[in-house]
Every structure is written in structure tokens, then in C-alpha cells.
Structure 1
Amino acid sequence: MRVALAQLNSVVGDLTGNRDRIVARLAEARAAGADLVIFPELAVTGYPPEDLLHRPAFVRAARSVIDELLPHTRGLTALVGAPEQDGTHLYNAAWIITDMALQGTYRKQLLPNYGVFDEERWFQSGSALVLLEAGGAIVAPTICEDIWFPEPTISGLAAGGARLIANLSASPFHVGKDREREEMLQARARDNGCVVALCNMVGGQDELVFDGHSVVIDADGSVIARAPGFEEALLVVDVDVPASNPALPTLGLGEPALHNDRLRPAPAPQLDDLEQMRQALELGLHDYIEKGGFDDVVIGLSGGIDSALTAALCVGALGAGRVHGVSMPSRYSSDATRSDARVVAESLGIDFREIPIEPLVEAFDAALAPSFAGRPADLTEENIQARARGTLLMGLSNKFGWIVVATGNKSEMSVGYSTLYGDLVGGFALLKDVFKTDVFRLARHLNERAGRELIPQSTIDRPPSAELRADQRDDDSLPPYDKLDAVLEAYVEGDRSRDELIADGFEQSVVDRALGLVDRAEYKRRQAPPGVKLRTKAFGRDRRTPITNRWRG
């Protein structure tokens, strides 16, 4: 059987555009001689459509797209992801279309309702297993979560005679997810003696990135074919599906075509963690900008490593012509950071301007002097500088239609080492899920990949500083980042308690300092822009902690 996996970058809500993408892939698959074409989960609506699914007109319009696809399925079978309304119940469904006729649907049985998923908010669980018969070979459609657990769906299908499990998936990315997913699929294939073909979505949707890496696994667990990650692809492959006697009723798909050639494309190579991070960040930003209808981006270039890395990634995602850098020095900015801000802009080939903030800060100081009389300077005056910069960036954004990309990282976001309405302003926070230690690793990776210093080595080597007061360094206020990030990973992502962290061997002083800062900063994080999810648990829709909260531990 010749199977095509149509790894699509659907746009949530763009039903017409998604229909056209599906039609184009159907034509390509037919030209390649495909018998079966598998699309991602909810390819018609994009994933996740969230509360658009509560709008009856949206669901009806998605249903109409299925009818519009029928004429484009001549000579093949397509499994297309779209919602299905049945009375008062809504299902996450795979629509089965064969040779221009609608055969039926398979309804997703296992609805994820954890982490970034809220499917029980919108869908009912299906209960019926569906088997398709093509020349004696039995194919079973499934949807994403159904295959992540051995029971009951997959084992039931295998017992019913299925020998090819087709999975329509929208599996969000985190670093290493492609390998975790593939290892799971290999276990399902081996345990059930079935070929497994998973077609995953690709692209960015708000905070989420879908990495693609669609894959076909043989019944012995070996990888037959793998699509590349972080890009659209049509993976066409011939699979050997033995005939079986089904124990359940089947829907007939007709005889697979006979082919003179045998398609077995070499599996696309797997990427290391740093390259996965780079590609996910660039794809997430690109799709946020493009799908949201924005044009250019603007970044505050401090001469530090966070803003330099952000600028380099923005250029990778959008091209240098759509990226604008702004240096906003104060009396505390060193000659070295002012120089590095200009150097990184020149290295990347982006528009650059310098707007000193000292006149603005002096005006704020003068306006507040009567109210501040008799009080010493403190963090307030530092935050005024950050907010002056935020105001300038938002002014440029409003005037030219540029979206501000914030440059703060996950370490700073965790402990609240940022200023509301200052460096937190923006429409997107690209490094929101990148720890500071990984910022350094990524900067070196980008330089190595380019074969030159996109990011000046002096920026990488310089101790991090917000430069909001004389001789300031980050480690004056925070534990060293290598120690801090290890605690943050265990606490924020691993949900380890204070006592468990100390028992794990972390320094008590670092634990107490980090946990206190993290817990107090939730109100800031709620007001931060969205950013790409890179890790197993990200701030935003993934880690949901109450703002008003007295639990400590």
C-alpha cells in the first residue's frame, strides 16, 4: 500500500486556506500514486481551535469544508481531521473519504486534559473502533492521544485485525519530543505487530510549536520513513501490510494500485537539542508574525546576550529587512555594551538606531521629585529607566506597525528579574522558555552554524548586567545562573518541593532565594507576552499557578 503523510502547517480559523492546502496535498499525493493520504489532527480548523469550537457557525463551516474536499479525492482514500457535530455532542474526528464519497468518521477516544491540552472542554469521547479494508489489508484510523497509551484503543484495534494504524496527530513540541514520540510508536508497533503511520502537524500556534517529524514504523519497530522537522512535507512511502481476518465490521476502500517502483525514502535525520531549539524558536516567531498579520519586529538592543540572541533569531525567522534594533543607552551604559549593540546590528544587517534615554529619565525624576522628597534612590529609579525604554519601543511600534519582541529569558521570567511595562513590554517574548544557561549555548551554536560571529564574542564573555545602576551585575541580585537554572528546572518544571530540592543536594540558600522569588513573581508573569514553548513545562497555558497564593513549599 502506498501511503502519503501530508505534514501540514494549518492556520487556526483559516478554513478556506486550510482547505486549499489539503486540496494541494491531495493532488500531489495522487500524482505520486498514493492509495491512502493521512492528514494531521483537525487539519481543517487548525489546532487548537479552542473556544472557536463553541461557535456553531464555525463548526458548520468546518463541516462544509469536508464536502468541498470530496471532488478532490478521486482514486484515493483520505483521512482528514475536522470536528464532527452529532446532536449536542461535538467530536474530534477523522473523516474517511474514498474516491469522492464520504465513508464515515472515526471519533477520538482519549481526550488529553493536562498540560497545554483542554480537549474535554470542547469534545466528547468517541467509543467505536473503525476498521478499513483495502485488498485484504486492514487499516485503522486513530487520533493523536489514542496511540500514546497501549490500552484500550490500540490493543482493541490490533485484536480486531488492524495491521496498519494510521494516526492523525497534533503533537506539540518540546525539546526531544520527536525522539520520545518515536520510541512510543516503536513500542506500539512491536507490541501489536502493526505498521504505524503517524502524520503530525507542523507550525506555530500562539505559544505552541508543532514539529512535524511524521513517521512510518514497521511492525518490528524499525523506522521505515521519517519526514523532516519544522517544515511542511509530503512523505510518500510504500508499506507492506499483511492481509488479516477482521473481527469487526469494515469499510471498503477498494484495491490498492499496483506500482512498478517501490518508494522508501531515507528517513530524515534527527536534530540535536540546540538545533531543535533554534528551529522551533524561529518557526514559532515566524508563524506568530505571519499568521497574525504583522509586518516587522523591533527589539531593544542593550549590547547584552539576550537581545543579541533575540535579534539573530528574528533575522533567521523573518529576514534582516523586517528586523529593527534600537539601542537606548543611559548614564550607566558602558562603552562596551553600546558598541556591541551596534556591532550585532551590523553583523546581522538590520536597521539600527540609537535613542538615549537620559533626557526622559531626567524628566521623570523631576516630575516625581516632590513626591519622592526625603527618600533615597532605590529600585524605583532603576525601573523608571526600563519603563522609559519600554515607552520608546511601544512608540516605534505604534507609529510604524512593528511588533515589539521582548528579550527576557526563562530564568528572569521565573524569578521576576524584569520590569512590568519596561523590559516586559511587547507582543511576543521569544526567549520566554529559554533558561539563561541555554541562552549562552544557543548564542555559541548560532555562531558556529554561521561560521562567524553573528553575536560578538565580547557579548558572550561579558558578565550579564541590566546596567540600571553603576557597576551592576546580575549575580549581585541572583544566584549564579548555573546554580539558579538547575533549581528552577526542578521546581518550575519538575514540581519538586523545597524539602525535596534540599534533599536532592541543592544549596539551601539558593533554593530559598529562588523559590521565594518565583512564587512572588506570578503576577508579573501573567502580564508577560506569549512566547514559544520549548520545554516540558512552560509559563502560560502550561504552568497554571494562582496569583493569590500563600502556599510555600
Structure 2
Amino acid sequence: MSQKLKLAGACLNQTPIDWGNNIGNIKRAIDDAKKEGVDILCLPELCITGYGCEDLFLSQWLPQTAMQKLLEIIPHTNGIAVCVGLPIRIEEKNYNTTAFIADGEIKTIYAKQKLANDGVHYEPRWFTPWPSGVIESLEIDGEQIPIGHVTVTHKDLTIGFEICEDAWQPDRPIEQLDSKVDLVLNPSASHFAFGKSIFRENVIVKESSKKFDCVYLYANLLGNEAGRMIYDGDVLIAQKGKLIGRNHRLWYHDYRLLTVEVDFENNTATENIKPHYSDRKEEFAHAAGLALFDYCRKSRSRGFVLSLSGGADSSTIATLIAFAVRTALEQRGKAGLEDKLGFKLKGDTPEVITSQLLTTAYQATKNSSEATFNSAKNLAESLGATFYNWQIDEGVDHYQSTIESAIGRKLTWEQDDITLQNIQARSRAPIIWMLANLENKLLMATSNRSEGDVGYATMDGDTSGSISPIAGVDKHFILQWLKYAESELGFDGLKHVNALTPTAELRPEDQNQTDEEDLMPYEVLMKIEREAILNGNSPKQVFEVLKSEYDPDILKGWIKKFYRLWTRNQWKRERYAPSFHFDDFNIDPRSWYRFPILSGGYREELEGL
């Protein structure tokens, strides 16, 4: 056995069918690894095509093109061994595979056995699981290559493979091998969720290296690959239960290489462990910031437009964008930032660059307060964002008078409360869309997950936008994060936002409208949501879980309101702009939780409560 080998993993920021970007990142990562004297390099799952190709995987041409790109990569592997992920089509079936290439030759191809089919994953729609223990032969470029449940011998090491979900399920492929392995390579596309990296590090990598008495090398994708999922760019290496390598997560680079020298004979290694984000609030800043940056550049937009109300939701989004600018500038420099965005920027400070990338507007009505105006203005100025403000009362009055003339009566707050609230929110959408179109920027929708639960959002109003960046997190968390961003991230302009009570400001000022009066305390809403949606409990079961924390009669009222509003507003959730996945669940019917638009509405269950 070779005494010492340099092992490396590389996270890659890929994009579905962006061949120039994807193959370029792969080649550059290989070239950098060779310069560092790396012997074996592991690249992420499906890195040639991108993981998020969805139904493109069902086409004939995509796997064919991926194979052509693999052959293009092979000449870059002289003097190194590399794992490269791609889909392979055999007899009308697709397989999720990783090719092990060494010194310019494909040595073997491992095919994934356990397909992810829960939460945000639908892999069985596109791929067939490879049967355990089966090895076949595949002709590639005139050569017969073993494919399937394979191991390979390289540099006197026996190397086994797992691809992402293989390691998360019982009866793992590595457990079914007849012989012991010295090294396990795990190319992955494991989406970001709060706290997930800790489990991945401790259980998937460290415990696996101890259980299989081996070195375990894990390499994940990086960034917002295809729109909704975020990848943290984890590269983890463990040796017989001890972590020896971990890279920076959620960085704004095309790829990041992590190298560790391992002495297989003496079971030692030169450790290379970078710090990581362990707090949810810190993770949110970095994950959301990177997701917004990637979404902007990959959609070829010139920045963001935001209707800045001065309240918590829009202020969170503004702060995240400013944080993304600050972080990207720190990590890539102005030239690197311009290169990724595809256009030139003036100045070189975060505030000056933010002024070009973030345009905000405070759209007031007669029901808006001076407090929210000052909150919005002060925050925009502190971030450097371009700030406009205008009145929309004339447009609201025009809509109202038109409908009053048509129906032959005046609208009143006593009789037409929801209608009068909604027209204000909807009147803001056309003009802010105009601004987004004029500047070729992404319009930000401002709804959060708690509002999505109960439909506390105006369709074609605050839900209007190109992307809904905070629809994956609850309002209780947002309010906590804003205080963290003020005190820990240095966004002093949030002090005005944090002093306000959340309100839609759509009713007359003398009615003292607040969100929690309209709904319920946000902390309660969050707890009901987790029990009802994440844990799938019935109204009665939710009550049993929470009854010791609140007055039972009041709690029953909150539970009934939640379920009634949830079922009534599924149609709204179907129409939300794409959102990012942050938590261990979300309510986006296109990525995590499918619920019927029409249903019995828990009628019998609520009567039983």
C-alpha cells in the first residue's frame, strides 16, 4: 500500500446544461488539484449536467451529450484520478453514475442504488436504481468498462463508492461489498437545510469512516444551482472516525478545492479543517445571500427591485441583498464580482455597489405611517440602496370609484374590509413592476412562510415578483434574524425596523391593525405549522401536543383558524414565485408539500376538536 496520498474534494457551482460553465469548473478544479500534487479527486454528483435538470433527464440527448463531455474531460486526468458524475442511459433506463478516471482512462463506473424520493427530491421519476451486487459491462469509446456496484484498485487502495442518498439509507451499498475498502468516495448533491451540515459531518462522514474502518471523502455541489435548492459546498474527509478535512461552506466561488495528505499505512493525516457556520441565523445570512447572488447572475439580471415597506419582511430581503454584496466583494473582489455579474460597476465599496444592484421604493397610501416611511428610508440609506418614494392613493381611488360606479354603491370598511385592503396592495404591483422592467432587475416578492400557511398575503400584491426569497422561513424566525443582523452583522439601519410592531398598514390608522391581531401570535403559528405540516398531524393531534403550553380554549381557536385558512388558500401557494429551501420543510407545492387545491377542509376533524 502506498504510504501517503494526497486526497481532495472539490465543490462546484454548476448550472443545468450550462456546458461551458460546468465543464470549465471541472477542468479548472482538476488542473488546480494536479498543481497541488493531488492523487485522487472527488467531484460532486451529476456535475457534468447539473443535478437539477429535472425532466431533461428523460430526453435522449442529455445523457448522450453528458457522455461526450466526459470524453472531453478525460485528457485532463493524466497524472491524477478523478470521480466525475453524469447520467448514463442503458436500454431506455437512466442511471445516476460517477465515473472513476485515472491517467486518461475510465477505470470503472459506479451507479447509484438508493434514489432520493422524499422532501424536495423526486429522483425515481428520472432514474432507475442500480441493483445491489450487479456489475455489467458498458462500451465507451470502443472500450468495455465495468459499471454498477463496483470497487476499484488504485495506488494499492481498494476504493468503494456511494452517491449521496446511498449513505443516508439503511442497507447501504458499502455494507454489501465482499471485501473491505480503504477509501470511500461520495460525490453528492445534498441540498442545504438549517443544521443539516452538522448531521452530515458527524453521521454520514465521521461515523461512516469509523464503521467501515476507512477514509471517507465527501464532495457536495455549491450555490443556487437551478433556482430553488441551495448547496453548501461541503467537502468533508474523515479517517477512522476522526474528521481530517472540512472546507468553507457557502462561498461565492465557482469551485473550491480541499486537500488533505493521508498516511494510509500509519492511519494519520495532515488535517485541513476550516471553520463553519453552526447558528441558524448565521447560516441563513450566508445561504440566502449566496442564493440571491446566484439567482441574479444566472438569470442574467442586473440586480433587484424591492417594494420596501419599512416592515420586517421587505427589510429582511434588503438586508440579505446588501449582505450578499458585502460578502461577494470580500471573497471575490470587484473584478470577480463584475466577472460573475457580466457588467461593470462603479465604485468599490459595498454601499456604492449596492446602490447599483438594489433599487427600493416606499409606496405610501393614506394608511401608511411616518414610522414605516422613516424605517424604510433610513434602512435604504444605511445599506446604500437606491430609494424612491411615492403615493399610490390616486390609483387606489381610481379603482375604487370605478367599481363603485359599476355596482352602484359606496365601499365601506364595515362591509368591504378585505376588498379595500387588497386593492391597496395590488395597486403597488404595476408600478414596481415597471421599475423592475426599466432596470432589467428581479422584482422581489416579500411573503414569508407564515403568511403562506394562512394566505395572509395579497395575490398580485405583496406576492408579486420574480423570486420569493423568504417564503421558506417563518415570521417568528425573521423577527429574530433581524435583531441578529442589527447586533451581529452590523446593519445598524435595522434599529427602526426592529422597533416596529408588524402590520400590513392597509386599514385606517385608527383601527391599529397588527399582524398578530389579525392572525395569532407568530410563535404559536410556527408551532402549529410544524406539527400540522412537517409532522403531518391532525387538528386533534396538534392540540394534544400543544395544550400544556396555552389556554386550551384559545389554542383550539388558533388551531381551527390555521387549518381553515390553510385549506382555503392552497391556490395562493400554487401561484407563489419560486422560493428557496432553507428549513427541514417548506410549503412550496412544487418542491416539498403537495396539498389538494380543493378538499374537505378538515371539516369533520375540526368539529371533533
Per the TM alignment, residue 505 of structure 1 is displaced from its structure 2 partner at its CA by 2.3
Distance 1:281 1:98, change over 3 A: same
Match of 2:333 in 1: none
For residue 535 of structure 1, what is the aligned residue in structure 2?
Answer: 583
Aligned partner letter, 1:300:
S
Query: What one-letter code is carried by the residue in structure 2 that aligns with 1:26?
Result: I
SS of the residue corresponding to residue 469 of structure 1 reads: coil
CA contact (8 A) 1:137 1:242 kept: no
Higher mean C-alpha displacement, 87-96 vs 122-131? 122-131
Structure 1 residue matching 2:31: 3-state secondary structure: helix
- Give the CA deviation at 1:494: 2.0
| Pair 1:518-2:518 in alignment | no
Aligned residues of 1:212 and 1:230 also touching (Cα < 8 A): yes
User: Offset of 1:123 from its aligned partner?
Assistant: 1.0
Q: Distance between the aligned counterparts of 2:384 and 2:227, measured in 1? A: 28
Contact 1:225–1:268 (Cα < 8 Å) also in 2: no
> Is structure 2 residue 500 aligned with structure 1 residue 465?
no
Match of residue 101 from structure 2: 97
Cα displacement (A) at 1:551: 4.9
- How many Å separate the matches in 1 of 2:270 and 2:394? 67
Q: Secondary structure at the match of 1:526?
A: helix
Q: Which residue of 1 aligns with 2:372?
A: 337
Amino acid of the residue matched to residue 408 of structure 2?
A
Q: Is the 8 A contact 1:4 1:235 kept in 2?
A: yes
Question: Does the aligned pair in 1 maintain the 2:262–2:269 contact within 8 Å?
Answer: no
**Is contact 1:150–1:188 with CA below 8 Å preserved after alignment?**
no
1:224 aligns with 2:228: no
Output aligned runs, 1:358-507, within 5 Å.
358-374=393-409, 376=412, 377-455=416-494, 457-470=495-508, 471-506=512-547, 507=555
Partners of 1:410 and 1:435 within 8 A in 2: yes
Counterpart residue number, 2:38? 34
Query: What CA distance in whole angstroms lies between the structure 2 residues aligned with 1:524 and 1:452?
Result: 33
Q: CA deviation at 1:412?
A: 0.8
Deviation for aligned residue 1:372: 3.8
Matches of 1:64 and 1:387, distance apart in 2: 50
Q: CA deviation at 1:269?
A: 3.1
What corresponds to 2:166 in structure 1?
A: 146
Q: Distance in 2 between matches of 1:330 and 1:135?
A: 72
Is contact 2:302-2:441 (8 Å) kept? yes
Counting only pairs closer than 5 Å after superposition, residues 15-94 of structure 1 correspond to structure 2 as 15-94=19-98
For 1:46 and 1:406, the matched residues in 2 are separated by: 27
| Number of the residue aligned with 2:275 | 268
Aligned to 1:306: 313
User: 5+ unaligned residues in a row in structure 2: which ranges?
Assistant: 132-147, 326-352, 548-554
Alignment-derived partner of residue 194 in structure 1? 214
> Alignment identity in percent?
29
Could you report, residue by residue, the CA deviation over 1:188-234 in whole angstroms, capped at 9, with x for unpaired residues?
22222122111011111311111122201111x22111111112420
Residue-by-residue CA offset, 1:333-368 (whole Å, 9 max, x unaligned)? 011111111111101101111121011001111111
| In structure 2, distance between residues paired with 1:116 and 1:80 | 24
Instruction: Report deviation, 1:262.
Output: 6.7
State the alpha-carbon separation in 2 of the partners of residues 497 and 227 from structure 1.
Answer: 42
Match of 1:247 in 2: none
Worse-superposed segment, 135-144 or 43-52: 135-144
Q: 1:317: Cα distance to partner?
A: 2.2
Distance between the aligned counterparts of 1:421 and 1:80, measured in 2? 44
How many angstroms apart in 2 are the aligned matches of 1:94 and 1:290?
Answer: 29
Give 2:489's aligned amino acid. Answer: A
- 1:452: how far off? 4.7
TM-score, structure 2 normalization: 0.85
Structure 2 CA distance for aligned equivalents of residues 487 and 50 of structure 1: 33
* Residue 169 of structure 1, CA deviation: 0.3
Using a 3 Å threshold, how does the CA distance of structure 1 residues 450 and 274 change in structure 2: closer, same or farther? Answer: closer
Q: Cα distance, 1:304 vs. partner?
A: 0.8
For residues 136 and 36 of structure 1, the distance between their equivalents in structure 2, rounded to whole angstroms, comes to: 12
How far does residue 400 in structure 1 lie from its aligned partner after superposition?
2.4
Letter in 2 for 1:510: W
Q: C-alpha offsets along residues 136-162 of structure 1, whole Å, 9 cap, x if unaligned?
A: 3211122111111241402123x4221
Residue identity matched to 1:360:
G
Partner of 2:287: 280
Mapping of residues 155-174 of structure 1, within 5 Å: 155-157=175-177, 159-174=178-193
Q: Unpaired runs of 5+ in structure 1?
A: 244-260
AA in 2 matched with 1:217: A
Give the counterpart letter for 1:487 in structure 2: I
CA distance in 2: counterparts of 1:497 and 1:182, whole angstroms: 34
Report the alpha carbon displacement of residue 520 of structure 1 after superposing the two structures with TM: 1.3
In 2: Cα distance, 1:262 partner to 1:192 partner: 18
Q: Is the 8 A contact 1:408 1:429 kept in 2?
A: yes
Indicate if the aligned counterparts of 2:425 and 2:458 stay in contact, CA closer than 8 A.
yes
SS at match of 2:84: strand
Q: Structure 1 residue aligned with 2:129, among 122, 125, 150? A: 125
Structure 1 distance, partners of 2:276, 2:491, is: 25
CA distance in 1, matches of 2:586, 2:377: 32
1:356 and 1:175 map into 2 onto residues whose CA distance is 40
Q: Is the 8 A contact 2:12 2:44 kept in 1?
A: yes
Deviation at 1:63, TM superposition (A): 1.1
Instruction: Give 1:91 deviation, angstroms.
Output: 0.8
Count of residue pairs brought into register by the alignment: 534
Structure 2: how far apart are the matches of 1:131 and 1:281?
Answer: 38
Q: Residue type of the partner of 1:303?
A: G
Worse overlay, 19-28 or 376-385? 376-385
* Alignment-mate amino acid for residue 541 of structure 2: E
- Contact 2:107/2:152 (8 A) holds in 1: no
Q: Is the 8 A contact 1:498 1:512 kept in 2?
A: yes
Give the Cα–Cα distance (whole angstroms) in 2 for the partners of residues 411 and 380 of structure 1: 21
Measure the CA separation in 2 of the matches of 1:136 and 1:475: 65
Cα deviations by residue, 1:267-295 (Å, 9 ceiling, x for unpaired): 43343111111111111111111112122
Task: Tell me the distance in 1 between the aligned counterparts of 2:155 and 2:442.
Answer: 55
Conserved? CA contact 2:244–2:270, under 8 Å: no
Which of 595, 604, 607 in structure 2 is aligned with 1:545?
A: 595
Verify the 8 A CA contact 2:285 2:323 in the aligned structure 1: no
* Map of 2:16 onto structure 1: 12
CA contact (8 A) 1:15 1:62 kept: no
Change (3 A) 1:292 1:490: same
Match of 2:260 among 224, 234, 237: 237
Change (3 A) 1:288 1:176: same
